């Protein structure tokens, strides 16, 4: 999530946040989603133990439990071929606890774009996003292809300096304050790069996609997700979207769900968009979502603030380097829905890493390091 403050507390200050991330429905305005009328329960399988260590990018062996502790992990769920093989909760986590998604929300928004495309409500990803969202006319998104927005390549300027009150990240965060408006913020965005030329991780791009969903479907993000994902995937617990004073959802980070329900998006994508024999998201859209298809999206190219990560980028999904075909939804404070189709794996990790954002150092943020740990878990299933 790119937001320096949420509701009544401040982020990225080194303070523990696990007391907050479990009760965002109490701290911020939300739009609820109902559990499915027929909930889907993952079957239980033989339980595994976690590997004692994983290899950091420098080859150093590090302790798995030490990483879980250091990042204030609240939930770790491992599915193999749709069967629960590991499930533990710590701190304020629990099977029925809604957790703050951070940017894991982005991958859910992408799935909804694929569904709207299949329904013909979006004609083509080559269409300009402003064909469906007139509120973005004269903004950075005017005339930009939907595909470029999906790939974080809109060309919009994005400054992620939390100490600068004029930065985009500061101003989009302020939109959650009383009287604030995400739509009003989006109208002020300006272009910096040629669309489709540079991948800059920009939460405003996801907010633009939510505006696209609303414009194309005539429904709010909450309504459309309730109908197209929450019900069909059999979500077992209530969910919610954090919203601004005008009821507009924080599409880039404000999804509240349980670990088991987050896992259902991973399981849907592991199976090529199919759920219980029904094609929910088009197979070709899912396949395109988890591949990089241009040099500016290749591992090491996407820009996050003033640095890059050793991953590529698809349609709001991160793509680790290598040939394993794995992919992940990733949110700050170390939230993950990691998918490895070759091994039949979906892993959900929900966390509240207190060091996150206190520096720009990977030793604090541990974005890539957590992926290495999840990959170590997945290798147990070779």
The three-state secondary structure class of 150 is: helix
* Pairwise CA distance, residues 101 & 87, whole Å: 18
Name the helix (H) or strand (E) containing 54: strand 53-55
Residues 376/51, Cβ–Cβ less than 8 Å: yes
Residues 315/150, Cβ–Cβ less than 8 Å: yes
Angle between helices 104-118 and 203-217 (to 10 degrees): 30
User: Considering the entire predicted model, what is its pTM?
Assistant: 0.96
What pLDDT score does 361 carry?
87
What pLDDT score does 1 carry?
34
* Pairwise CA distance, residues 373 & 63, whole Å: 9
Q: What is the largest CA-CA distance in the chain?
A: 56
* Pairwise CA distance, residues 175 & 28, whole Å: 13
**Residue closest to 116 by CA, chosen among 126, 124, 107:** 124
Residues 25/96, Cβ–Cβ less than 8 Å: no
What pLDDT score does 32 carry?
98
Provide the residue-wise pLDDT of the chain in tens; the chain has 382 residues: 344 456 556 788 899 999 999 999 999 999 999 999 999 999 999 999 999 999 998 999 999 999 999 999 999 999 999 999 999 999 999 999 999 999 999 999 999 999 999 999 999 999 999 999 999 999 999 999 999 999 999 999 998 776 678 889 889 988 999 999 999 999 999 999 999 999 999 999 999 999 999 999 999 999 999 999 999 999 999 999 999 999 999 999 999 999 999 999 999 999 999 999 999 999 999 999 999 999 999 999 999 988 888 999 999 999 999 989 999 999 999 999 999 999 999 999 999 999 998 888 889 999 999 999 999 999 998 8
């Amino acid at each position: 999530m790119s937001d320096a403050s949420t509701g009544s507390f401040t982020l990225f200050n080194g303070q523990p946040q696990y007391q907050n991330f479990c009760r965002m429905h109490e701290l911020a305005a939300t739009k609820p989603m109902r559990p499915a009328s027929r909930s889907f329960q993952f079957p239980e399988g033989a339980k595994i133990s976690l590997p004692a260590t994983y290899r950091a990018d420098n080859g150093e062996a590090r302790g798995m439990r030490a990483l879980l502790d250091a990042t204030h992990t609240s939930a770790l769920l491992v599915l193999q071929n749709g069967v629960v093989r590991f499930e533990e909760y710590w701190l304020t986590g629990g099977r029925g606890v809604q957790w703050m998604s951070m940017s894991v929300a982005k991958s859910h928004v992408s799935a909804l774009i694929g569904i709207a495309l299949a329904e013909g409500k979006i004609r083509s990803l080559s269409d300009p996003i402003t064909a469906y969202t007139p509120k973005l006319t004269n903004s950075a998104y005017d005339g930009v292809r939907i595909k470029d927005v999906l790939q974080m390549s809109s060309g919009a300027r994005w400054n992620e300096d939390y100490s600068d009150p004029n930065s985009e990240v500061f101003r989009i965060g302020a939109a959650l304050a009383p009287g604030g408006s995400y739509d009003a913020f989006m109208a002020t965005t300006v272009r910096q790069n040629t669309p489709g030329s540079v991948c800059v991780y920009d939460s405003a791009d996801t907010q633009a996609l939510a505006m696209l969903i609303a414009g194309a479907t005539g429904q709010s993000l909450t309504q459309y997700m309730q109908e197209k994902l929450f019900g069909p995937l059999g979500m077992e617990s209530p969910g919610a979207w954090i919203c601004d004073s005008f009821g507009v959802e924080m599409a880039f980070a404000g999804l509240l769900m349980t670990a088991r329900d987050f896992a259902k998006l991973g399981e849907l994508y592991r199976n090529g968009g199919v759920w219980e024999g029904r094609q929910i998201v088009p197979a070709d859209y899912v396949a395109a979502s988890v591949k990089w298809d241009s040099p500016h999206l290749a591992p090491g190219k996407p820009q996050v603030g003033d640095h890059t990560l050793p991953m590529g980028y698809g349609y709001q999904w991160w793509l680790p380097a290598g040939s394993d075909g794995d992919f992940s939804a990733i949110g700050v404070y170390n939230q993950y829905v990691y998918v490895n189709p070759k091994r039949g794996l979906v892993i959900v990790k929900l966390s509240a890493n207190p060091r996150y954002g206190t520096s720009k150092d990977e030793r604090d943020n541990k974005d890539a390091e957590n992926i290495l740990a999840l990959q170590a878990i997945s290798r147990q299933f070779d």
